Amino acid sequence: MGGLFDVSNLKVKLQELESIINKEDFWQDFDKANNINKEYLNIKKTVNSYESLVDKLNTLKLLQNEFSEEELNRELGNLNGEVTELEKLIHLSGEYDNLNCYLEIHPGAGGTESCDWASMLLRMYERFCEKNGFNYEVIYENKGEEAGIKATNILIKGELIYGYLKKESGVHRLVRISPFDSNKRRHTSFASVTVTPEFINTPNIEINENDLKIDVFHSSGAGGQSVNTSNSAVRITHLPSKIVVNCQNERSQLKNKEMAIKILKNKLYEKYLEEEDNKINSLKDTSKNIEFGNQIRSYILEPYKLVKDTRSNYESNEPDKILDGDILEMLEFNLKNIK
């Protein structure tokens, strides 16, 4: 497994986390403590799985002459399944993989076509969450003039959810017969997806109120698992960085502002990491234009059916299932095959 998995380093990390967890004031900051505890349990599960697998392999070597060929093949098949599970754990052992995440979608050029495609992607990720026990809430959603969405940001919560979705950042391409074209011509649409972890702590980030431009506007409603009940959506522009954050899912203008500030700090910390040591390069890459030639994945509905990821060469001839949220197999394949 090469440099991807070093059990000695993981054991050292476990000892470090144990020393933190055993401190008397550990649970005073619940969010921080919960995050550390999740990281500890994830690493411990990986180490235990590795050691169990090694023990079983050693036992099988010692007793292989005692097994019939059929029994030996059965035992090897069982071990192969455990190896697959261990590989998955290893690929989900990144620094931020155990965190919740924000998922943003923006349509490319193309008006209604691209807005509709963005809403199809949003539904795909929402259905994925519903099928796999992840919770999500729509933080912001700007609906298209005729159909679809112009922008959306959802917060997804669950075990290792950033780890599963971290490879989804990039441009997604759709080819289909347009439902908005009376001549039934084939259209190509693009939308960008950005996935970033919800950082529990954002050290070195201080926000000066004088650097903020705050606008309040009427909300049209978010929908999803979290139905918006607020009429006081908030948009915050951080003037020095030009970062714009929207929030509309809370019940009051004050709560929306607090959530928007939290998201802004998350984005500023992300920017800080990028400027300090380029860590963020492993988290996302959305610098490319939302257009042909830059897509990470194509979803083709006409003239044939195919989903193909250009980075891992994952293929499926069932795009309807993919777009209905059956993407776990694809996500796990991409974790193993995209560097």
Which span out of 175-184, 200-209, 321-330 was modeled with the highest average pLDDT? 321-330
- The mean-pLDDT minimum among 33-37, 205-209, 252-256, 274-278 falls in 274-278
Neighbours of 80 (CB within 10 A): 9
- Give counts: helices (H), strands (E), the chain: 8, 11
Residues of the chain with CATH 1.20.58: 2-91
The amino acid at 80? N
Q: Kindly indicate whether the domain formed by 2-91 is annotated with CATH number 1.20.58.
A: yes
Residues of the chain with CATH 3.30.160.20: 209-279
- % pLDDT > 70, the chain: 90
pTM comes to 0.79
pLDDT of residue 226: 47
Residues of the chain with CATH 3.30.70.1660: 101-201+285-337
CATH top class, domain 101-201+285-337: alpha beta
Q: Residues 95-104: what's their mean pLDDT?
A: 91
pLDDT digits (tens, 9 = 90+) for 219-242: 655 444 544 444 589 999 999 999
Q: Which CATH architecture has domain 209-279?
A: 2-Layer Sandwich (3.30)
Distance separating alpha carbons of residues 153 and 256, to the nearest angstrom: 14
pLDDT digits (tens, 9 = 90+) for 286-337: 545 655 557 999 999 999 999 999 999 999 999 999 999 999 999 999 998 8
User: What is the average pLDDT value for the chain, to the nearest integer?
Assistant: 86
